[in-house]
């Protein structure tokens, strides 16, 4: 085996390590707050495990970058969380947060694994993906056991196979035509949109209550409205097909308005979830065979994309956006010596 130090990090590996470091330092700081207020033993055990795992990945990435002679990102630190702040969320919201994060990091870890070539980076991404999958499993099981997670709609299993006959299957609603009910592949992706935005609604509520900057507070209020509109739109699609899902957020925002997290951290967390939502929307669009569904999902994706763009501008305005690593600017190097 070639020793890692004899093989330089590829550009894709530097980029993926930078992204993972940002997410893990954010998670580490948020878990500090959740752990301080978590009394339930099983929930606390999950949070403690996630906290330890995040710390381990932070140290592992820092070690790789330092051995490579690369600068370690700033990410997030102790100044991004108020240690004595009252609880911002109650119920089992912290476990719901872990479950949502496990969905995101599991997907990102698998994506980054496909961009990894050096043995130590591959091994790190394999471990990250495995831990995320295990956390998703354990958080889901605990939430179900406590009645804090609602399953997608239950339907009668099909008794025979069928094939599509005619293009009517692909038509959406019109004045003269009522669309078929959503099929179960479409249902699966729509429910993920519903569940993600039900969670996001509570997260945005809490963030809006404690944001320090007025424009950040308004931004989180916009996120709250976007999540609420998405929940209403997707639920109406289910209702048209005689299904009535009601995803539980797994906990709620308290009435606290005391600062907990820095605006920088909350903006990054929102951006991470927004990016995840855009990816889920794209998958849902690609698997939808009813012509009106992609149109609705694309319109939603446009709103989400614009929301993300406004968030980026706001982060730049306040100096909260850390710049990702980039390749050498050859033109600037040449000009600097001219």
pLDDT in tens, 225-245: 999 999 999 999 889 888 888
Is the CB of residue 315 less than 8 Å from the CB of residue 265?
A: no
* Partners of 81 in beta bridges: 261
Question: Given this model, what pLDDT does residue 2 score?
Answer: 45
Same fold for the pair 8-145 and 170-317? yes
pLDDT bucket at 1, cuts 50 / 70 / 90: very low
Q: Which CATH architecture does the domain made up of 8-145 adopt?
A: Up-down Bundle (1.20)
No. of helices (H) and no. of strands (E), the chain: 9, 0
Q: What is the pTM of this model?
A: 0.91
Question: Given this model, what pLDDT does residue 140 score?
Answer: 96
pLDDT bucket at 250, cuts 50 / 70 / 90: confident
Specify the CATH number of the domain 170-317: 1.20.1260.10
pLDDT at 24 over 90: yes
Segments making up each domain of the chain, as ranges:
8-145, 170-317
Q: Look at the alpha carbons of 124, 189, 277, 253 in this order and tell me if their dihedral is positive or negative.
A: negative
Is the CB of residue 247 less than 8 Å from the CB of residue 198?
A: yes
Share above pLDDT 90 across residues of the chain, in percent, rounded to a whole number: 66
Is the CB of residue 179 less than 8 Å from the CB of residue 290?
A: yes
Q: Is 287 exposed, middle or buried (0-12, 13-18, 19+ CB in 10 A)?
A: middle
Question: Given this model, what pLDDT does residue 288 score?
Answer: 82
- Give the SS3 label for residue 95: helix
């Amino acid at each position: 085996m070639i020793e890692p130090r004899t093989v330089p990090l590829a550009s894709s590996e530097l980029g993926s390590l930078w992204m993972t470091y940002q997410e893990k330092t954010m998670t580490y700081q948020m878990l500090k707050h959740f752990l301080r207020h978590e009394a339930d033993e099983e929930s606390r055990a999950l949070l403690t495990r996630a906290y330890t795992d995040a710390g381990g990945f932070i140290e592992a990435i820092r070690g790789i970058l330092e051995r490579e002679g690369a600068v370690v990102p700033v990410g997030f630190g102790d100044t991004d969380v108020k240690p004595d702040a009252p609880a911002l969320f109650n119920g089992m919201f912290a476990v719901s947060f872990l479950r949502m994060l496990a969905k995101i990091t599991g997907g990102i870890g698998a994506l980054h694994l496909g961009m990894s070539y050096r043995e130590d980076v591959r091994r790190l991404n394999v471990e990250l993906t495995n831990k995320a999958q295990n956390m998703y499993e354990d958080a889901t099981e605990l939430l179900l056991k406590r009645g804090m997670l609602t399953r997608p709609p239950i339907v009668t299993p099909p008794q025979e196979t069928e094939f599509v006959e005619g293009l009517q299957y692909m038509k959406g609603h019109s004045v003269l035509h009522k669309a078929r009910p959503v099929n179960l592949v479409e249902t699966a992706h729509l429910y993920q949109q519903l569940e993600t935005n039900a969670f996001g609604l509570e997260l945005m509520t809490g963030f809006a209550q404690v944001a320090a900057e007025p424009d950040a507070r308004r931004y989180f209020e916009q996120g709250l409205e976007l999540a609420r509109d998405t929940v209403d739109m997707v639920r109406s699609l289910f209702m048209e097909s005689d299904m009535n899902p009601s995803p539980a957020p797994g906990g709620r925002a308290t009435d606290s308005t005391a600062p907990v997290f820095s605006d920088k951290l909350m903006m990054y967390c929102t951006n991470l979830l927004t990016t995840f939502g855009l990816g889920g929307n794209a998958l849902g669009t690609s698997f939808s065979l009813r012509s009106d569904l992609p149109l609705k999902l694309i319109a939603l994706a446009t709103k989400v994309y614009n929301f993300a763009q406004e968030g980026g501008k706001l982060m730049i305005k306040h100096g909260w956006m850390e710049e990702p690593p980039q390749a050498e600017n050859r033109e600037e190097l040449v000009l600097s010596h001219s």
